[in-house]
Structure 1
Amino acid sequence: MRPYFFVAILLFFPLSSRAWQDTLRLKEVIVTAERSPVRRSDANRQMTLIPAGTIRMMPVSSLHKLLMDVPGVDVRQRGPVGVQADVSIRGGTFDQVLVMVDGVKISDPQTGHHNFNLPLPLSSITRLEVLKGGASRVLGPDAFAGAVNLITRLPDTSYVGTEVAFGQYGYYHAGASGGLHAGKFRAMIDVGHTASNGYRDNTDFGISRLFFRGQYRTSRSSVDVLAGWLDKGFGANGFYSPAFPDQYEKFRTALAAVRFTTTGRKVRYEQSVYWRRARDEFRLFRYDAPAWYKRHNYHRTGVAGTEMKMILPESFGRTNVGLELRREGILSTVLGEKTADSVAVPGVAGVWYDHRKYRNILSAFVEQQVGIRRFAANGGFLLNRTGDYNWKIYGGLDMGYRLGAKWRIYTAVNQSLRYPTFTDLYYHSPVNKGNPHLKPEEALTLEAGGRHRGKAWSGSAGVFIRKGKNLIDWIRPADSVKWHTMNHTFLTTTGFELSSLLNVRHMTGRDRFWLEEIRLAWAFATASRQHETYLSKYAMDYLHHQVILDVKHILPGHIETFWQFVLRDRAGSYQTYPSGEITPYKPYLLTNVRFSCHVWKMRLFLDVSNLFNTSYVDIGNLPAPGIWITGGMKAEVKRQK
């Protein structure tokens, strides 16, 4: 561990900077990944914010790759450019992350594999918010290890835009967008299509998206609307089992939400209604299937909910109270309880949804925020119930103290929970078996840390421990081929995160200095469980070490350059196919770079992913893509004010 602590000293103290992802070029950002929005500088939790200006500079073309640059966030991609990926936080699993768009919860109850199948292109995101640590008291069930909130764009002026890109492996992307700002009304729409022949056999994909965001605002109230549609199909060579290279998956989803907000003299009231529907088709054999193969799997999930909350100001703080009702359901050929009331699968002759399951989730919450000079605290509890489980209370408390104008220290303790997905409960195949008697996951998370915010340098450091109970995982004995779900009795995860950024131009006082910014971050996690006699499919394959180095500079000709170096060391192992040998995951270093420049109204860019063609495996038996070069153009014409 000595080399790591030496790195920590270099990381935090000499290079503590302007908290690039925490506060880069953000004045007093209002963080919305909370029950009650707070200023970023007053937050008593570990958060990461990435604004649109930074996203535009980075060598990323999908939300998945953007999240890979966040310390403490693990992204395991089964396909590039947003095809399919599992996202987890602080050593958790992909089912333990709540996903929101503009504060609207859109996590998929079928499986966390689908959580980031979203209709949002990167160009429609104005800010990414990542809340780390248990947040059920703040955001309800599913925010077990953390939450991701995507803030979408509302135009300041009317505009039209377009973007195109081409690259290796038959890659292409085409998109168009438009925005309208007329008085009290603002809206934007974004449409696009992305496709590739694939980096190896049966990894081709096609993704179509449509997204709309609108707002009507008066002096005291506002109405916000969002809607989106996604159609995605991709070859899944070895994505879910190395024994079947001809797998294929098709996924479609639509979502919509409306939020009404009004502010009186003493009370702020907010009411939101949201809906999401998804259709998933999975083929074990994309083309010719053997005689023993019965049929493909078809699923249709639905989520609908409403949330009401009031913020009551007081002389010493704010009180936030609310109620949320959410209904989740699935129709499937395999997931759920067998039913005689079958429903035909649209567009597929002779196939019926003959399994179904519904559940209602009711949550009531109270939160109190208090500020006394330099001290601030917010605490509360969530009262929650669903049809299959009894009432439970989950509480938490966050506290912080401001040390002067630039330093802040904080500590937090929070409980969290997650209900089993329908896949956890009911999935059954020759090598997998769900468990309908699973209990909800529960955890207690304690964390502490501090951060410094300055113009030339900023930094943050934090430690955490999460004590989990009844954690859900797919496991199997070493002498068996069948995975099944179970609740771990106890699983304890500990770790720390360090992050810093140096604003070189501000330090040198030279606005045109060739080197602009350097950011260095390190996240560490380790987990221990009671029983070690079986193999774990997900819970023990967490990121052990994650080191991120970002360098931003200018080349001659005003070419903006963004280098991204990511070192990842994963815990756990996998069973090599077909030998059956147990193989530990190996650490690897990825190098990505983007070159970009402005020409008239256009922004030209060239991306190189995995510059040195590193061979690595993030998911057992699934080789990741090597070097991938893409390039393109983005243009936007705004109406003159």
Structure 2
Amino acid sequence: MRLFFSLLFSIFFAYPCFSGVVELEPITISKFTLGRYPLDADILLAEDIKKLPLFSLEKIADYSSGVDIRQRAPGGVQQDVFLRGANFEDTRLAIEGISISDPQTGHFTMEVPLTRADLKEVEVYKNSRLINIKLAAPKTKGAVFASSFGEHALFEQLLSVNFSLKSIKNRLSFEHKSSKGDRQDTDFEIYNFSFHSLWENQAGEIQFLLGSTKRDFGANSFYSSHFSQEEEHISQRFFSGRFSFRGEGFELDNAIFFRRHWDKFILDRHNPEFYTNYHTTYLYGFETGIEFDNKAFVDIKTRKEKITSTNLGNHSRTGAGLYLGLKDKRAGGFIFDLEAGFDYYREWGCLESLHLGLGYSLSDNLKFQFIFDRLCRKPSFTELYYISPANKGDASLKSQKTNNFEAGFDYYGENVKLAFGVFLNKQAETIDWVKDGPTDPWQAKNIEDLKILGFD
């Protein structure tokens, strides 16, 4: 049984807390009309995040129904997120609306360069296959320290400090966790670091975020059941800057971002010369958007993705997108939101996107909703270019196109919130790994159309 203790303090109060077993409070997932897609969000709030075990950022989304998180190792080393039966490659991750999904492989998408102290809300949009992380605003002062230990030499620490420099509020956070692993070649050591700075007044705000994660771990059978002595080393850096201006009747928002991900994969950690790969990916871009008081908005986005790899080679792709619509528009008992747009890539042309959400309040406590999403996914660099004796990518892959439908009810009682929905996912040009025969390698292909019908 895992032994656990924690110590939390602020600059005003300090107290220790020791316990052999910690019984956590219930976690409540709420459905709110917030964000770009207000009718399709499961939201975990800050007060619920505090109830979670220490250092469990990777588990937060798992509290939403329809979400399947498959850990390849404990401690948040690496995990794949499946939404409503879709492939983990289809799951998108964003920080404050900026997409940071890994272009090399979905295995790296959930390696978030943040600590638990940075989180305000986690929004899960199941129909849109999107997880969005909203950041807690830095405060003028305050600090948090937490630590835990357990079997297999598990040791974890978190330190987060809020401070101000004149009118600029800042938060500096550091997190470390390590273990020898519960079986051979499952040891790990993880460092997370973040710095968040915010200046704001009535006319707007300026904020910067710098995040970093470093992970070294034994990857026992992560990628092949024939090799139980795999090892991986990962380093990621993320930076974003945002400038918002509120004028008469509108708000203008501009953001720049940069993400660098490096990994070294060793097939046999006791014989590194046998097979070792190095990969470095870069993701950077600019986004600007304007929202009017009547809830209409226009967004323009551009980004570049690049990879240098000893296995996949050197490749890059550039995309530009235009989106417009209405969000959280209300008329009588109706609420609706609409977004239409596209991302253009030379390799795949226009990748269209459409979102429609319609809700109607049948009473003060009961709401009906219908949601439709049209999604297009371009192949990852691994699906396009990876070559090994066991796996072969395909540089001619087409983009995957999906139509997602959802209909359901939400009930809000005094002490209970219930939600029920039926969903249908229709997918064309599905990208997946298949075998032609038992001795053939896995190959990335556009396979037949798929349909997924379910409820949650």
Is the pair's TM-score, using the shorter chain for normalization, greater than 0.5? Answer: yes
- 1: CA distance, partners of 2:354 / 2:192: 39
Deviation at 1:384, TM superposition (A): 2.0
Residues 380 and 283 of structure 1: is their aligned pair in 2 closer, same or farther, counting only changes over 3 Å? same
Q: Report the secondary structure of 1:95's partner residue.
A: helix
Q: Secondary structure at the match of 2:63?
A: coil
Q: 2:48 is matched with which residue? A: 54
| Contact 2:138–2:198 under 8 Å retained in 1 | no
Query: Aligned pair 1:404/2:404, yes or no?
Result: no
Match of 1:357 in 2: 315
8 A Cα contact 1:96 1:418, kept in partner = yes
Q: In the alignment, is the contact (CA less than 8 A) between 1:62 and 1:121 conserved in 2?
A: no
After superposition, give the CA deviation of every residue in 1:231-259 in whole Å (9 maximum; x if it has no partner).
Answer: 10100111111111110000000000011
1:163-211 CA-partner distances (Å, limit 9, x unpaired):
1111010100122110025674322110121100011001000001111
| 1:502-541 alignment runs, 5 A limit | none
Cα distance in 2, alignment partners of residues 463 and 356 from structure 1: 43
Give the structure-1-normalised TM-score: 0.65
Tell me how far apart the structure 1 counterparts of residues 147 and 27 of structure 2 sit (CA, whole Å): 32
Q: 1:278: which partner in 2?
A: 261
Are the structure 2 counterparts of residues 203 and 220 from structure 1 closer, same or farther at C-alpha, using a change threshold of 3 Å?
same
Note the C-alpha offset of 1:44.
2.2
Corresponding residue number in structure 1 for 2:442: 483
| 1:259 aligned residue | 242
Deviation per residue, 1:606-641 (Å, 9 max, x gap): xxxxxxxxxxxxxxxxxxxxxxxxxxxxxxxxxxxx
In structure 2, C-alpha distance between the alignment counterparts of 1:289 and 1:58, rounded to whole Å: 38
Partner of residue 159, structure 2: 176
Contact map agreement 1:283 1:296 (CA 8 A) in 2:
yes
1:328 paired with 2:305, answer yes
> Structure 1 residues 193 and 60 mapped into 2: Cα distance closer, same or farther (>3 Å)?
closer
Distance 1:165 1:237 in 2: 25
The aligned residue for residue 92 of structure 2 is 98
1:300 counterpart = 2:301: no
Deviation, 1:289, is 5.0
Deviation at 1:230, TM superposition (A): 0.9
For the Cα contact (< 8 Å) 1:472–1:488, is it kept in 2? Answer: yes
State the match for 1:31 in structure 2. Answer: 34
Q: Distance in 1 between matches of 2:364 and 2:169?
A: 36
CA distance in 1 between counterparts of 2:371 and 2:192 reads 39
- Of 410, 422, 431, the match for 1:451: 410
Q: CA–CA distance in 2 between the matches of 1:68 and 1:132?
A: 12
Please give the alpha-carbon distance, in whole angstroms, between the structure 2 residues aligned to 1:172 and 1:436. Answer: 43
**Cα separation, 1, equivalents of 2:81 and 2:193:** 23
Are 1:228 and 2:232 counterparts? no
Residue in structure 2 matched with residue 242 of structure 1 by the alignment: 225
Which structure's CA Rg is the greater one?
A: 1
Question: What is the DSSP-based 3-state SS (H/G/I as helix, E as strand, rest coil) of the residue aligned with 2:269?
Answer: coil
Q: Is the 8 A contact 1:193 1:207 kept in 2?
A: yes
The residue type equivalent to 2:283 in the other structure is V
1:22 to 9, 26, 30: 30
Match of 1:524 in 2: none
**Whole-angstrom distance in 1 between the partners of 2:139 and 2:33:** 18
Say whether residues 1:109 and 2:103 are aligned partners.
yes
Give me the identity figure in percent.
Answer: 28
CA distance change for structure 1 residues 48 and 107 in 2, over 3 Å: closer, same or farther?
same
Q: Quote the residue 1:599 is aligned against.
A: none
Q: Aligned letter for 1:319?
A: A
- Out of 346, 370, 373, which is 1:414 matched to? 373
Matches within 5 A, 1:424-439: 424-439=383-398
Distance change (3 Å), C-alpha of 1:375 and 1:19: farther
* Offset at residue 417 of structure 1 (A): 0.9
Amino acid at match of 2:79: A
Q: Is 1:391 aligned with 2:350?
A: yes
SS at 2:112's partner residue?
coil
Does residue 1:313 correspond to 2:308, yes or no? no
Give the Cα–Cα distance (whole angstroms) in 2 for the partners of residues 104 and 212 of structure 1: 17
1:156 Cα deviation after fit? 4.2
Distance 2:400 2:323 in 1: 19
The CA deviation at 1:410 is 0.8
In the other structure, the counterpart of 1:121 is 115
1:57 to partner: Cα distance: 1.8
Counterpart CA distance in 2 for 1:59 and 1:274 is 31
Structure 1 position 157, deviation (Å): 4.5
Q: Is the 8 A contact 1:253 1:276 kept in 2?
A: yes
| Structure 2 equivalent of residue 536 of structure 1 | none
Structure-2 separation of matches of 1:405 and 1:183: 46
Q: C-alpha offsets along residues 285-332 of structure 1, whole Å, 9 cap, x if unaligned? A: 112257xx3x41000100001111111233xxx211111001000001
Q: Is contact 1:153–1:213 with CA below 8 Å preserved after alignment?
A: no
- Which consecutive unaligned segments of at least 5 residues does structure 2 have? 1-25
Instruction: Provide the rounded CA distance (Å) in 1 between the counterparts of 2:400 and 2:125.
Output: 19
| SS of corresponding position for 1:446 | strand
- Helix, strand or coil for the counterpart of 2:29? helix
CA RMSD of aligned residues (A): 1.8
- Give distance in 2, aligned partners of 1:281 and 1:447: 41
Q: Distance in 2 between matches of 1:491 and 1:113?
A: 22
**CA pair 453-19 structure 1, distance change in 2 beyond 3 A:** farther
- Matches of 2:448 and 2:153 in 1, distance apart? 48
Partner residue in 2 for 1:628: none
- Aligned in 2, Cα 1:272/1:289: closer, same or farther, shift over 3 Å? closer
Determine helix, strand or coil for the equivalent of 1:398: strand
Inter-partner Cα distance in structure 2 for 1:83 and 1:234: 8
User: What does residue range 329-348 of structure 1 map to in structure 2 within 5 Å?
Assistant: 329-335=306-312
- Normalised by the length of structure 2, the TM-score is 0.90
Distance 1:444 1:19, change over 3 A: farther
Aligned twin of 1:557: none
Matches within 5 A, 1:604-619: none
Matches within 5 A, 1:365-376: 365-369=323-327, 370-376=329-335
Matched-pair contact (CA < 8 Å) for 2:311–2:386: yes
Residue identity opposite 2:28 in structure 1: W
Q: Distance in 1 between matches of 2:272 and 2:360?
A: 63
| Deviation, structure 1 residue 19 | 9.8
Is the Cα–Cα contact under 8 Å of residues 99 and 147 in structure 1 kept in the other structure?
Answer: yes
Structure possessing the higher relative contact order (Cα contacts under 8 Å, 6 or more residues apart): 1
**Secondary structure in 2 matching 1:53:** helix
SS of 2:448's partner is: strand
When residues 52 and 312 of structure 1 are mapped into structure 2, their CA distance, relative to the original with a 3 A threshold, is: closer
In the aligned structure 2, how far is the partner of 1:50 from the partner of 1:182?
31
